[in-house]
Structure 1
Amino acid sequence: MKRLPDWVPPGTDDTVPSAARIYDYMLGGGHNFAVDREAATQAEQVVPYARGVARLNRAFLRRAVRFMIDQGVRQFLDIGSGVPTVGNVHEIAQDADPECRVVYVDHDPVAVAHSQLILAGNDRTTVLKADARDPSRILGDPQLRRQLDLDEPIGMLFLCMLHWIPDESDPGGLMCHYIDAMASESYLAITHITEDYQPHQVREGLRLATRGGDQVTPRPYDEVLSLFGELELLEPGLVGCGTWRPAGPGDIAEDPTLNQFLYAGMARKP
């Protein structure tokens, strides 16, 4: 019997690719299998920029969390978190302040199982298996309520997540539910795939990456902007991921094409 590494949860099928592990591979992480790397390679043949876009998204996460920390936020809710490796929310936040608390949410049992192993022993971080389309279930979960105080400011992140919500599930309505639950002085960060500039490459790359699983809905600028509801959008607004308040050369794509795949923005609740 083949022996899997210690980080692999019991019962994991290493012959089926996982979107969470594909993303981990593109970020340079070690929580992925050969089948994930093969799927990533196929996607990159159609969208050569896929790895660069993934890393721009992770760099935005780093800047977003640090910005929220600077505004006094000490608790975070990351919806659609995937596998929390390679500089994820808890690492960034707890490096700045060990008292920070984080709740990760993902509906993918593979991502949740990996997360539970990785985060074992971190009592200020919790992982929930739940669907983002059920905000009442997530926001009312006893584990979340033990970790987070929703009467205090929170940093909420939907990074590369809302394009997994189809139009018929009313992503705008869902976001209103989450926004209503945020206390004053809370922040919301969103990144979202778009076809505004590279429609053929985006569609073909997503087809290969998802391999018949959940489908992605790229959205145009105005539709992504509407997901912030009535919140106060911070400067520079909704922009290409690498151009949202870059902190250094590593945050800015040398090839401007990379900024044409992903919108990024942050808003504040007054």
Structure 2
Amino acid sequence: MVSPGILLVDKPAGLTSHDVVARVRRAFGTRKVGHAGTLDPMATGLLVIGIEGATRLLTYIVGADKTYEAVIRLGITTSTDDAEGEILARADADDLAAVTAEGIDEGVRALTGRISQVPSSVSAIKVDGRRAYDRVRAGEEVVLAAREVTVSRFDLLDRRVGDGAIDLDAVVGCSSGTYIRSLARDLGAGLGVGGHLTALRRTRVGDFDVADAVSVDDLADATPMTPAAAAARVLDVLHVTAEEARDLRHGKRLNDQASRLEGAHAAAIDEDGTLVGVVERRGADLKSAMNMPEVAR
């Protein structure tokens, strides 16, 4: 039997997130595999993969803040807001030459903090039940609604002026649902020269770091984190007795125990170090929001 766990995988460019999931399924001999957030094929970096019962934990990971390393190219606009799209416009040489370091910094500041962002039309957002990128590929015109996101960090590390473009190396920390392609597009638009994303690498999801990830070529020898270890990285921990663990597994409440919880949820871990599930407040009591389907160390 395959043990449940959370596996960190460093996705290479050229593979879809679904491709990586398929490889994990083959490596571990199970169909029950999922991930906590898609990466585009051109992007590299951290995919958080759930195996067997640990897929239930992905719900509590998918909304975590994320960190990316990106290369933004100013001066060229594309149909997809990244390097895979068709070039729609190139900035005039004089307009590009007028872009200053101070102007770029001002544009970055305008895109930092709580902002309203229109996702790229080729995103995975569903429109009337179909992915936006599928509608675009079918020739439909798609305009997505703006959404509120938080960009907590937008640091420029390097600026390179080339032939007809300015490349910016950046590190972006942001809330879940933020599109780095849209940041590149909007930065270029604000400067009057257009822009798109040429490289993207996800380095962090919550407390999970790509430095701890395995490559897709090493999946056969990979050892996933236990559900308890993974849950402790994204949730507060509530240590429960054997009797409390049994009650939670049977759907019973822990009466008058709500004061033991500081946040909205906590990982209930028993005396053996096993994840029982995730608990939440219900009035003065604690109850299970999610139970692990099987016991696993």
Q: TM-score, normalised by structure 2?
A: 0.22
Select the structure of larger CA radius of gyration: 2
Q: TM-score, normalised by structure 1?
A: 0.24
Structure having the higher helix fraction is 1
Structure having the higher strand fraction is 2
